[in-house]
Amino acid sequence: MRKVGIKDLEDLKKLSMLKSQIDAVPVTDIMTADFPTLSPDNTVSDALTLMRKTGYQEIPIIDGGIYGGMIRYSVILRKKSASPDTKLRSLVSSLPAMDNEDEITKIAETMVTNNCRQLAVVTGKKVIGVVTRTALIGIAAKTKSLQDVKVWEIMTTPVEYVKDTAMLSDAVDTMRRLDIRTMPVVNSAGRLVGVVGMNEIIENGWKAGERGVGTNDAKTQIPVQSVAVTAVVTVDWEDDMHVAADLMAEKHISTLPVLDKDEMVGILTEYDIIEMISACRERDQLYVQISGLEEEDKIYAEAMYEDIGNEMSKVSKIHKPESLTIHVTRYNESGDKKKYSLIGKLFISGRTYNSKAVGWDLIQTNKDLVQALGSQVKDEKDSHVSRRKKTKS
């Protein structure tokens, strides 16, 4: 049987056809007019209760009938000083509002840039609907040009995971640092035994009248294995992308561990698929996003962008890169010593290249990361998509 995938997308003038198919869907067809709202005078406890009830992690703030931004679970998670009685007005995020005439690829780009799951659709100053990642996944599942793309072509690797013996607060700390929402759980043998995400944290991290996760109080040290979802839905790395998207929609899940036989070789999330849709957006220049920089490290951003430009100019002689996202995590070691962990994801013609670099010098670590990504592209120049030809024994 002939296997198709990214090579076929390149035959279809790369991603132009994919973009036209996705952007043919109007926003009004996928947004929901039935959505939760909060006011600035509501409390963190009110927000968490509503998030638990609705599954939303970003909820519009309405003040006197006017859109005032979004309250985000990720912001609450990072705000260690927040208590259940804290008013939301001090935690509101100015997420961009979408227009009902916006293209789907623009919405996807906005979701990637802001790492969010929900965006408000606003006319004038009034919210008329909310568009979700899940709605965009539904479009992807029905898009003809994507139905033959393999899971391994867009999955994220290496996988960030948590041990089943770890405490839930440890998982939260990792999620907070990496700005991710879900993690696979593995046992002492490294085998996948569960998944833990924001739903489990919201359910177990806050109790009535007290702050739970985020502190080291003994009563809040909940073992991951006691709250993780153990009936894990997985996909095979050779599965078609639309199979994965259908699973996400059918099971109402955002994350699928990717297996090659019994080995976990990657993770596929709604974010990965949204990132691919975003990469379809027509741009004159490479789209680059660096997230996670601490305020004092932002002075190095210009040098980082320069090194990225130098390496991507080499890559462009082989393939035209569409987008590059880099997330920076800083660890304060002993004293004033700081260590950096950078995770990069490069999109080229629908294919994802992943790499990670760790080092003491931020600029050098960034350079190591982009060079590693460039090397992956160069190494594939002759072999093209050799992994797709792998046969299972």
Residue type at 145 in one-letter notation: S
Packing angle of the helix pair 16-23, 104-114 (nearest 10 deg)? 100
What's the whole-number mean pLDDT along residues 230-238? Answer: 91
**Structure-model confidence comparison of residues 53 and 157, the more confident one:** 53
State if pTM tops 0.75.
no
Domain at 149-274: CATH code: 3.10.580.10
Closest CA to 48 of 3, 97, 85: 85
The answer to whether the 6-144 and 284-389 domains have the same CATH topology is no
pLDDT band with cut points at 50, 70 and 90 for residue 209: very low
Q: Where are the domains of the chain?
A: 6-144, 149-274, 284-389
**Residue 156 near residue 345 (C-beta atoms within 8 A):** yes
CB contact set of 96 (below 8 Å; sequence gap of 6+): 110, 114, 119
Q: Tokens 């078609």 map to which residue? A: 240
Domain at 284-389: CATH code: 3.30.160.100
Start-to-end Cα distance in the chain: 16
For the chain, give the mean pLDDT. Answer: 82
Quick: pLDDT tens for 270-309. 888 888 888 777 666 677 888 878 878 888 988 998 999 8
**Residue 287 near residue 109 (C-beta atoms within 8 A):** yes
**Residue 195 near residue 255 (C-beta atoms within 8 A):** yes
Closest CA to 121 of 70, 72, 74, 71: 70
Q: What is the third-level CATH fold of 6-144? A: CBS-domain (3.10.580)
Structure-block tokens of residue 39 = 């006011």
The helix/strand count (H/E) of the chain reads as 14, 16
**Structure-model confidence comparison of residues 158 and 63, the more confident one:** 63
